[in-house]
Amino acid sequence: MRAVLLALPLAVALGSGPLLADDDEWMPPVTHTLTREECGDCHMAFQPGFLPARSWNRMMGTLSDHFGDDASIGIEKANAIRAYLTANAGDVDRRGAARGYMRWITPDGVPQRITENPAFVREHDFRPSVWQRHDVVTKSNCLSCHKGADRGYYEDD
Amino acid sequence: MPRFAMLAAALLAVMTGGPASAGDAADRAAILSGYAEQAAADDPGFSGFTAARGEDLFRTRWAGGDARTPACTACHTEDPRAQGRNAKTGRPIEPAAVSVEPDRFTDIDEVEKQFRRDCDSVLGRACTAREKGDYITFMQEQ
C-alpha cells in the first residue's frame, strides 16, 4: 500500500512532464478540449506556452480580424478559451520550451506570432527551398515538420 | 448470461450507441430541405438545387475575398475526392465528396460555420441559401 501511495505522485509527475525529450524539445500540450477544437480548426491549436498572457488576451479580443481571417466565436466560448490560454501562458507556466521563448519578450511587448520570436527564428534558419515545400505552405505549419507537435513534442525529425 | 458478460454488453452498448456525432444521409437531407425553404423564400421562382450550379460555385475563380484563396479549389483542390490542404495554414483537409467522406454536410452548425468562413474567404460575401444547397447537391454526387 505504502509503495502504491508513493508511486502514484511519481506517475503523475512523469505523465505531465516531458517523456525522454530535452527541455527545449517539449512544450506543455493543450489540455483544454474547447481550445483544442475551436483553435484547431484552421491550424493546430498552438500551445499557450509560446506566448505571454497579454498576447493571448489581445488575440482573444481581436478574433474577427485574425491574421486576415474571421475566427470569431461566441462570447462564452471565447472567454473560456481566454481563461485557459492566459492561465497557462509562457510567462505563467515556464516549463519546457516556454522559458527559452519568454526570454525574448520585451516588458511591454505583445507579440501575436510565435514564428517571429527570435528563439523560433534561430531554431528555423533554413534555406528558402525548405519553406517552399508544398506541404509546408507557412512557417506556422508546425505539424508538417514536427509530427508530434500537437502533443507538444518538437524533437528534430 | 453471466453477470460479467451482461455488464460488458451494456457498457459496449453505451460506448457505441451514444449520440452519434457522425451523421448520416437523413441529416444531410434535413439540412438540404432547410436551405430549400430559405431559397424559396428568397426567390419565389426557385425550382430546386442543381449539381451543375454547385460545380460552378466550386470551380469559379471569384477572387472576391482573400488573395490566397481565389476559389474553393485553393483549399479543396480541383478534385473533390482528393485530400485538400488549407492554402493559408498548410493543414490537410479531408475530401469534400460525400462518396469518400459519408458524414459530410450532416452537422448544421459545422456546415454553417464553414460556409460563413469559406464564402467570405473566396467570394468576399456570404453565400445564399441556393448556393449552399447547390454546393451540397454537387458534393453529394461526387
SS3 of B36-98: the string is HHHHHHHCCCCCCCCHHHHHHHHHCCCCCCCCCCCCCHHHHCCCCCCCEECCCCCCEECCCCC
Interchain proximity B86–A43, CB inside 8 Å: yes
Domain ranges in chain B? Answer: 21-140
B121 touches chain A (CB under 8 A): yes
Helix (H) or strand (E) holding A6: helix A2-15
What is the C-alpha separation between B92 and B89, in angstroms, rounded?
9
**Mean pLDDT, chain A, integer:** 88
Cell numbers representing residue B100 in the block: 469518400
What is the C-alpha separation between A64 and A74, in angstroms, rounded?
11
Residue B89 has pLDDT above 60, yes or no: yes
B88 touches chain A (CB under 8 A): yes
Which pLDDT belongs to residue A10? Answer: 40
Which pLDDT belongs to residue B102? Answer: 95
Closest CB to A42 among B86, B116, B120: B86
A43 touches chain B (CB under 8 A): yes
Which pLDDT belongs to residue B122? Answer: 97
Question: CA A35 → CA A77, A103, A109, A135, B7, distances in Å?
Answer: 9, 25, 24, 25, 35
Closest CB to A43 among B87, B91, B116: B91
Which pLDDT belongs to residue A5? Answer: 40
A73 touches chain B (CB under 8 A): no
A137 touches chain B (CB under 8 A): yes
CB A47 within 8 A of CB A152: yes
**DSSP string computed for A31-99:** --HHHHHHTTSSS----GGGS-HHHHHHHHH-GGGBTTB-----HHHHHHHHHHHHHT-TTT--TTTHH
Q: Point out the residues of chain A with pLDDT beneath 50.
A: 1-17
Which pLDDT belongs to residue B22? Answer: 63
Three-state DSSP at A153 gives strand
Residue B7 has pLDDT above 60, yes or no: no
Unique residue bearing C-alpha cell 497579454: A54
- Positive or negative: CA dihedral A56, A58, A63, A66: negative
The share of chain B scoring above pLDDT 90, in percent, equals 83
CB B119 within 8 A of CB B112: no
pTM of the model: 0.88
Q: How many residues are given for chain A?
A: 157
Contacts of A85 (CB under 8 A, 6+ apart): A35, A48, A53, A56, A60
Which pLDDT belongs to residue A23? Answer: 81
> CATH says B21-140 is which class?
mainly alpha
Closest CB to A42 among B91, B116, B120: B91
Substitution target in A69, A113, A115, A145 with the highest count of B β-carbons within 10 Å is A69
Interchain proximity A141–B121, CB inside 8 Å: no
Q: What is the DSSP letter of B3?
A: H
Confidence of residue B23 (pLDDT cuts 50, 70, 90): confident
Task: Give pLDDT tens digits for B24-79.
Answer: 899 999 999 999 999 999 999 999 999 999 999 999 999 999 999 999 999 999 99
Q: How far is B135 from chain A (nearest CA, A)?
A: 21
Q: How far is A46 from chain B (nearest CA, A)?
A: 12
Which pLDDT belongs to residue A155? Answer: 86
CB A143 within 8 A of CB A136: no
Domain ranges in chain A? Answer: 18-151
Interchain proximity B121–A69, CB inside 8 Å: yes
